[in-house]
Chains A and B, each alone.
Chain A
Amino acid sequence: MKKISITSDNYEFLEKVKQLSGEPITLCDQCGTCAGSCPMISEMDISPSEMLRLVQLGQEEVLDTKAMWLCASCFTCTVRCPRGLDLSKIAEALRQITLRKAVDQIDIKLISEEELSRLPQIALVSACRKFTG
């Protein structure tokens, strides 16, 4: 098991995510409802509740996980969280921290011509919003 030590840097990261998401992240008591509701859970490396715990502890390594990029902003966790937390906003905050460093998650120029002619506009617009800075 990994030992975690908390320093002022960790608080800084937590504060940053709190500010970007506007959510009182420390309210989460790890019930796991979000993880149980998430349609993408089987693809994720860490569950939404683990993601939240890492943020609570100010662990910046959460930014290297895949979970936030697999979130489809379906808001299922948001409507079900017994503590009223909006996890979609927290995932968005984590995505934004990376995207604002100009680290894109897709290159639309690399999408095949066949896919580009199949995909509806809303798919591309939303993917650009969620995966490019």
Chain B
Amino acid sequence: MAQTGVLVIGELADGQLSLTSKEVLAAGKPIAEQLGQPMAVALLGADVGGAAGEAFACGADVAYTATDPLLAENQADLFLSALDALCREADPEVLLMGRTAIGREVAPRLAARLGVGLAQDCLEVSVAPGSTELRANRPVYGGNAMATVSCTSSPQFATVRPKAYEPPVPDPSRTGEIKPVQVALDASMAKSRVVSVVREEAEGIKLEDARIVVAGGRGLGGPEPFEDLEDLAKVLGAGIGASRAAVDSGWVPASWQIGLTGKTITPDLYITVAISGASQHIAGCSGAKVIVAINKDAEANIFKEARYGVVGDWKKVLTAFTETVRELVKS
């Protein structure tokens, strides 16, 4: 019998436990309860500081920690070596990680190293009452179908899509046990090396955090119309994004892309302009509370996802829409 019910692989952002890690703790808690075993978090970094306390407040009972200056940069080879040691020490029944920038690379490599299967990019993970079998629901075929998978190896391993779960309401009175694990790292374990970083995010509000997002697609026909969208975004204080088609056409940078292979957004309001709504795109915005669609094709898939829609020429609709919004937000 494994000694840990659920081990959540934690990630740090500016020394704090990342939002996605908290969401994954929310996903793991009912599983640990069902298994009748503790939930643990794995924390790796140069200094894991207050992250253990945050994890305890979010439902973890134990924190396995590995601290080493070499872990400061989240270099995948080093992160993986340390993580491998932590997982073997914690010996979990179920292993969970967010499908984040780091998770996308680390989780499949860890699965291969542990010799276990991995259910990728899950929207839902659970254990049926009276069972220890993990059931994971994951979108496949770009979101056109849903697969339920189980693991035949141990630990049962899944990555969880960011925003699939709400983070827990923290309970600061909860405490837990910190278990430091010695990991033998040396710099030569890092095979790849980052030479430089080029930032090209849209100015202003971060897409993932925006309460309102405005985005454009193939139907805009070129890069210039994005200026009209930026105008609307400014009026609404919204983030701005794009479909893959607009990115592939070179109209906007890749960091603007919303969708399966781009960013996942969960705004209260998502206004799409000339986006057809392929399942690839919906995979990145299905968590939006209200979707608004402006598109000339009444049969476009986006209207199946939208709460409000206007069928028409985007330019005419958008110009009048933006002007009216400008007046409304002033009043």
Does A pair with B?
Answer: no
Which residues of B does A touch, CB under 8 Å? none
Which residues of A does B touch, CB under 8 Å? none
